[in-house]
Structure 1
Amino acid sequence: MGQSIIAKGRTIHDAIHIGLDILGATREQVEIEIIQQETKGILRIGSKPAIVKLTKIEQAEKTVPDIEDMIQSIDISEDSKTNNPAKEEHKEVISDDHLEGKVWVHNGKIFCKTSPLYYPTITAGRGIKLYKNNELVNGTIVVTENDTFEIKTEEEVVETKWKIMIDENKLNAILYIEPGMRKTYTIQDIDPSPHIELNGEEHIEVINDLDYEQVLQELQRLDIVHGINHEAILEALNVTKAEKFVIASGISPIQGKDGYIELLIEIDSENKKPMIRTDGTVDFRELNNIPTVNKGQVIAVVHPPVQGTPGITVTNETILPKQTQPIFVQLGQGAAFVENGTKIVATETGRPYFEQNGLLVKVSIVPKLIHSGDVNITTGNIRFKGDVEILGSVEDSMNVQADGNVSVLKNVNKANITAKQSVYIGQNAIGSTIISGNHNIFVSEAAHLLMQIQMQMEKFILSIKQVMNASAFKVTDFHKKGLLPLFKLLLDHKFRTLLTTIKQYIEMCKRGNNLLDAKWAKLGENLHSCFLSSVPNEWHSLERLNQLLNDIKELLVEHSIPNEKYCSIELMYALNSVIYCSGDVTIYGKGCHHSKIHAGGVLKVNGIVRGGELYARLGAIIKEAGSEGGAPTRISVPADQKIRIDLVREGTIIQIGKIRYTFQKEERWIEAFLDEQDRIIFR
């Protein structure tokens, strides 16, 4: 007998057909033995396949050498296991059974095998178009063995984008290029499954088809002829992602230099400090920080402006540099021009004074008044347009005013010292007012109030214009009776804060009448006429309202950039005094008690601060603050500054910005500042 196999199938016919395919024989060439008839279960439960045995009939003329040849051809390698006919037949049978109710993809084609109780499904996904029986389908579909399918992949092509831009100053031509691309999809094989999702595998090919000649033609169209960078153009032709290239560059103009003044003398006395004796006292006689010039000494050189060099745009246009301006020098007392105004010479002996605002420079020689002894009722008050040096004390109710520095060798008792620059007190200030800088306390407060008034007035004028432009305004009597009723209406309902601030400003001008320029008081009168008068007047018009706002702005600008770099107040001790300085305040000795201090710079107290209020715009450094059960001590700085105290007593109040903190116990070596969440942090 010949080769035999066992074949399984759903029916006897199927099993025989499978076996014949495996043997590669016809029905006449085999003997068939039915081993098991098929049985049908309920819902496929309990069903059995048909099993048959097929034996190939050997021909009589077969000889032994043929068998030997067959033995010689047997492959005993590991792969030979798959060539075993019985096992191969078993594998095919299992594979066939395994494919029932499933669909799969092979070599770009869809195959399926249905079953009586289950039909496979396909979902058409990304990058493909699925045709079932020549009809385009979307979503999920049911497939059968009788259906025909065709898969077509999608293709997307994006063209290369590019453009040439010229910057605002026409100094650079910039090529922006975004390469195109071709997006294609391929179909991958998918294993058999009851449901498959058909997605194309994405392939992207970058296409940069920008041509060199295209760029040159566009440059010509834009009249770009200067500084063309051909290497950058060639580099742009090969990029695979969006980029920018500077493909043409102009030449920037070289700016000139305005005229300026060169000082030939040292006027910066900021870092010079008085000599401190071994007992802790200060010797201001050894201060020697006030520069002095003699008659005929050259104090400055005036340099003319230097013109700049023109530039060239990428379109070959000339770019002119900014026009330079000469320095304007205004000479005061004790100074003169020589050599056609190119040099400044001192005509008197004294302290050189230099002030610059923009291109305006003021130069003068400040004389010095030396007063031997005390300033009292016998000598009278001192007012001098220069420096004042007092070799004694300033006694009760006396006033000393100077346009320069004031130096007092001994004490200041219940007196007033006002200097436009620095104040030096060799010993103590008791019950006195000490002011240093053009911006005295009243000027500072007045400027602060005016800034608030300015902001409110700008909104007030805007509201007036909105009402006047409204159609309802034309049917009212405002344009006949004037704007006073409208002023009152807005002030009562929308701008009560403006009224309050104006009243505060007017009251402050009255209190500081002797220390404020007449401009401040005049402005207060005009504000009263405009906003507080109950009788119509010339100020109740939009034109005068704008004029008043401009007056406020001009006064603020005039006092917004004071030349007070060298202002400072230095003394040993302060008691029940008011100290205001545009710059630094330094107390070298025992400290200060129950005093009010305002420092526009840094406040430094080497001793004890007990009671009073202290403000330091650039930070405070204090050795000891507070008292045991005494009057409260308050120390304030802006939100961006720090407070450093070596020893702080219980009850001391510090304020940083708007955040206040009261110490509940004694602490040492504190440094306080605000964090980003406006919380006071100690370290």
Structure 2
Amino acid sequence: MQEAKIGIQSGQFIYIDGEKKPLLKVGEGVEVYVNGVKVESQIFINKDDIVKIIPKIIEGKRNLNINVSQDAMEVYLEVSYEPYIEYEIEDKEPRNELLVEGKIKHKSIKKFTADEIERFLREKKIIYGIKKEEILKAVEGGKYLVAEGRRARDPEDDKIIYYFGEKHNEEDENAFRIDYFNRNTYEYVEKGSVLAEKLEGKDGMIGFDVYGRPVKPRKRSILKLLAGTGCNILDNKAFAAISGMPEVKADRICVYEVLRLNSDVDIKTGNISFDGNIEIFGSVKEGFKVKSGNKVIVHGDVLEAEVIANGDVIIKKNLISSNVMAGLNQLNNERAFEKIKEAYEILKNVLSMYSQLLSLGKIKMDKNIGQVLYLILESKYPNKMKDFDKTNEFITSNFKNEILNCWKSIYSLLLEFKDNMLKDLDKMKNILKEIEGFIEGFEVLNCPSNVYISYCQNSKIFSSNDVEILGKGCYNTDIVAKNVVKFLNEKAVLRGGRIFAQNGVFASEVGSNAGAVTVLKTTKQGIIEAKVAYQNTILQFDDISYKIENPVKNLKAYFKNGEVIVEKMKL
């Protein structure tokens, strides 16, 4: 007897009886059920089994994915399709092992329309920078940039071009540094020379992201061309109003007159005092004094003498047993401002105490208001009037500006106390109100000045900014700097004396094998560094001290979490 067979004729399942059971395998495009149970892969068929074969219909799919960039400036759309397929049952000749599969009767793809895609974008709130041509391409499938915002256009910043000295280029102002000790002469300009020019920038342009939201450009950097002493501004250009040395001081372009001496400062010249720059090609001899309204440049030595400047002090050779001060104006401004604030607080307290005595009935309002105020001043602040007299002498000698005008109001009021001339308490209140306004609105001069020196010994140096030792070092010298003290020569030595710099001391070799006491002081915000430090080197951070007991190298000290941290290696 032959083996059993199964087949499909005219879409109907047939069974031909035999000995060996036929095997039915399920292929693509159909679903097969035997006795009501769906067959997933294959099954042996019996004669009495009920076999049902159903052609599949696969619904098509349209896939649309959107990707918006993080800055919302670009939208990418990815379109793909899965086709609609309708199958029919394919006839098969009877056999013992039968693969049943469908034959494609109909196949189609329903694509998106451009309108549908645009509507989809609108639903996602994407309204700006729609690319219709790219959408038409996307209809066919694939990934396309279908919307793009307009980026904000950055502004062109203002620029100031300097035609002199330290600031040749505003964009890279640190790239040019004066070599103070190798420069023989200092820049000099004639009256009428163009010193600088401002190039106006352009404002940026607003942009929009794909959601139509405005994207603002950064603000243009607007620079001002400011004129200082000896300079005029015309049509965005700075011109020298006088012949002299140009420089930028407190962001203002200045030209200072220059006094040049081709000799020493000695008995032949006498003391030198000049409102502009002073350049001395000789030395400053014993007992003489040089005072400048701006910068002092000494090509020789300063020997048992005094050099005072409102600007920088540059000494190319040696400083011996002398005093140097750079930044006198700033120091005077700070001192005067503190004196005005102190006087204001004292007068306010005196007025308050007067008012209390009045309210308690211990005094009566009469013609002797000034006398009573003066008695309160003298009892609460003994001998303070003498201090005010000294302050008056200091301010009237050094100022001809708003500081002087403010102090005049204070001192005149004090004299009215003393002479019992003040008859009206409201006058005092009005003066105090004016002083308060001055204190709130006044900006202390920020015009840091530096000292540049090769070697110093047994001297005193003050700077309103930095002190830089460029040569072999200093011995038994006291230095005070509002910013930092730096020893730039790797072989420079610092032996003996005291250094105080608010933001840090950076030395090479400190102290000596003999144990010369050397004090390096800064604030708790400052830092102290030295390549080598010997015993008896004292490090101070405000009122906290640390003493080096044995020679060390690679010293770095700072204040942190309430204690002095000292990093060092044994020498």
TM (normalized to structure 2)?
0.56
Residue 418 (structure 1) aligned to one of 297, 301, 308: 308
Inter-partner Cα distance in structure 2 for 1:419 and 1:544: 34
**Equivalent of residue 270 in structure 2, options 380, 384, 388:** 380
Tell me, yes or no, if the aligned pair for 2:370 and 2:419 is still in contact at 8 Å: no
Q: Deviations over 1:72-109 (max 9, x none)?
A: xxxxxxxxxxxxxxxxxxxxxxxxxxxxxxxxxxxxxx
Q: Does 1:482 align with 2:369?
A: yes
| Structure 1: runs of 5+ lacking an equivalent | 1-228, 233-252, 276-283, 313-318
Matches within 5 A, 1:474-623: 477=363, 479-480=365-366, 482=369, 485=372, 507=390, 536-538=420-422, 541-553=428-440, 557=443, 559-562=444-447, 564=448, 567-605=449-487, 606=489, 607-623=492-508
Task: Please report how far the alpha carbon of residue 448 of structure 1 lies from its aligned counterpart in structure 2 after TM superposition.
Answer: 4.8
Does the 8 Å CA contact 1:611/1:631 hold for their aligned counterparts?
yes
The answer to whether the 8 Å contact 2:190/2:240 transfers is yes
Amino acid at match of 1:593: Y
Alignment of 1:28-427 (within 5 A): 262-268=161-167, 272-274=177-179, 284=181, 286-287=182-183, 290-293=186-189, 297-302=193-198, 329-330=226-227, 333=230, 337=234, 341-346=235-240, 350-355=244-249, 362-427=252-317
In the alignment, is residue 643 of structure 1 matched against residue 542 of structure 2? no
Report if the CA contact (8 A) 1:272-1:289 is conserved: no
Match of 2:106?
A: none
Shift, 1:475, TM fit: 5.4
- The Cα offsets for residues 327-347 of structure 1, whole Å up to 9 and x where unpaired, read as 57547536573xxx3434447
2:359 and 2:551 map into 1 onto residues whose CA distance is 65
Of 556, 559, 563, 1:674 maps to 559
Task: For residues 478-535 of structure 1, give each alpha carbon's deviation from its aligned partner in whole angstroms, at most 9, with x where no partner exists.
Answer: 5445387578669967xx6xx7998767657767986666876786676567679566
Are residues 628 and 535 of structure 1, via their aligned partners in 2, closer, same or farther at CA, if it must alter by over 3 Å?
farther
CA distance in 2, matches of 1:645, 1:342: 47
Identify if the C-alpha distance between structure 1 residues 511 and 258 changes in structure 2 by more than 3 Å, giving closer, same or farther: same
CA–CA distance in 2 between the matches of 1:260 and 1:273? 22
Alignment-mate amino acid for residue 377 of structure 1: I
Supply the distance in 2 between the matched residues of 1:303 and 1:502 (Cα, whole angstroms): 54
Change in Cα spacing, 1:295 to 1:487, as seen in structure 2 (3 Å) is: closer
Larger relative contact order (Cα-Cα within 8 Å, sequence gap ≥ 6): 2
Cα distance change on mapping 1:546 and 1:483 into 2, 3 Å: farther
SS in 2 for 1:427: strand
Q: Tell me, what secondary structure is at the counterpart of 2:265?
A: coil
> Is the 2:409–2:431 contact (alpha carbons within 8 Å) kept by the matching residues of 1?
no
Superposed CA offset, 1:560-590 (max 9, x none): 433x3xx321112222322122222112334
User: Kindly, what percent of the aligned residue pairs are identical?
Assistant: 22
Change in 2 beyond 3 A, CA 1:406/1:447: same
The code of the aligned residue for 1:274 comes to: D
Structure 1 CA distance, aligned partners of 2:504 and 2:464?
13
Render the CA deviation track for 1:632-658: whole Å, top value 9, x for unaligned.
433221221101123334333322234
Could you say what the CA RMSD is over the residues aligned between the two structures, in angstroms? Answer: 5.2
Cα distance in 2, alignment partners of residues 501 and 637 from structure 1: 31
1:587 match: secondary structure: strand
Give the Å deviation of 1:272. 2.5
Aligned residues of 1:335 and 1:364 also touching (Cα < 8 A): no
Which structure 2 segments of 5+ residues have no match?
Answer: 1-121, 126-151, 168-172, 209-215
Separation (CA, whole Å) in 2 of partners of 1:457 and 1:231: 68
Shift in alpha-carbon separation, 1:405–1:633, aligned structure 2, 3 A:
same
The equivalent residue for 1:473 is: 359
CA distance in 1, matches of 2:451, 2:460: 12
Gap change, CA 1:347 and 1:442, over 3 Å in 2: closer
Change in 2 beyond 3 A, CA 1:325/1:610: closer
Q: Report if the CA contact (8 A) 2:348-2:432 is conserved.
A: no
Count of paired positions: 405
What are the Cα deviations for residues 123-168 of structure 1, in whole angstroms up to 9, with x where unaligned? xxxxxxxxxxxxxxxxxxxxxxxxxxxxxxxxxxxxxxxxxxxxxx
Task: Name the amino acid aligned to 1:267.
Answer: E
* Letter aligned with residue 575 of structure 1: Q
Q: Determine which of 319, 324, 327 is the counterpart of 1:429.
A: 319
> Once the 2 structures are TM-superposed, how far is the Cα of residue 550 of structure 1 from its aligned partner?
3.8
Change (3 A) 1:661 1:411: same
